[in-house]
Amino acid sequence: MKKRITIKDIARELNVHHSTVSRALRNDPCVNEKTRDQVLAYAREHDYQTNMNAVQLRGTRNNAIALIVPNINHTFFSDIVSQLTNMAYQKGYVISVFQTNEKYQLEKEIVNTIIQHNFAGVIVSKAKDTIDKQHFMTMNKFGIPLVFFDRICDDMQTPRVIINNFEITSEATELLIKKGYRNIAHLTGTTTNNVFRDRQRGYEFAIEKYKMDYRQSVVIEDDFSVEVGKTVLTALMELPQKPDAIISSSVHITIGIMLEARKNNIRIPEDLGLITFGSLLSSEIIVPQITYIDQPETEIAQLSFDLLEKMMSHEIQIGELVEKTVHAKIILKESC
Q: Which is nearer to its own copies, 3 or 178 (CB)?
A: 3
Cα–Cα dist 207/171, whole Å: 11
Tell me the per-residue interface mask from 39 to 78 with DNA, x by CB under 7 A, - otherwise: -----------xx--xx-xxxx------------------
Residue 6 in contact with DNA, rule: CB under 7 A: yes
Tell me the per-residue interface mask from 118 to 157 with its own copies, x by CB under 8 A, - otherwise: x-------------------x--xxx--------------
Query: HEC profile for the chain?
Result: CCCCCCHHHHHHHHCCCHHHHHHHHCCCCCCCHHHHHHHHHHHHHCCCCCCHHHHHHCCCCCCEEEEEECCCCCHHHHHHHHHHHHHHHHCCCEEEEEECCCCHHHHHHHHHHHHHCCCCEEEECCCCCCCCCHHHHHHHHCCCCEEEECCCCCCCCCCEEEECHHHHHHHHHHHHHHCCCCCEEEEECCCCCHHHHHHHHHHHHHHHHCCCCCCEEEECCCCCCHHHHHHHHHHHHCCCCCCCEEEECCHHHHHHHHHHHHHCCCCCCCCCEEEEECCCCCHHHCCCCCEEEECCHHHHHHHHHHHHHHHHCCCCCCCCCCEEEECCEEECCCCC
Number of residues that bind its own copies (CB under 8 A): 61
Q: Which is nearer to DNA, 113 or 192 (CB)?
A: 113
Cis peptide before 159 (omega within 30 of 0): no
Q: Which is nearer to its own copies, 110 or 293 (CB)?
A: 110
Contact range with its own copies by CB under 8 A, out of 72-80, 192-200, 266-274, 324-332? 72-80
Among 2, 27, 30, 134, binds DNA (CB under 7 A): 30
Among 86, 241, 298, 325, binds its own copies (CB under 8 A): 86
Residue 18 in contact with DNA, rule: CB under 7 A: yes
Residue 109 in contact with its own copies, rule: CB under 8 A: yes
Contact range with DNA by CB under 7 A, out of 18-26, 223-231, 280-288, 305-313? 18-26
Contact range with its own copies by CB under 8 A, out of 62-70, 174-182, 197-205, 320-328? 62-70
Which residues contribute to the site for its own copies (CB under 8 A)?
Answer: 1-2, 4, 47, 49-54, 56-57, 62-64, 71-73, 75, 78-79, 81-82, 85-86, 89, 94-99, 101, 106, 109-110, 112-113, 115-118, 138, 141-143, 226, 251-252, 255, 258-259, 262, 280-282, 284-287, 318
Binding site for DNA (CB under 7 A): 3-4, 6-8, 15-20, 22-23, 25-26, 29-33, 35, 50-51, 54-55, 57-60
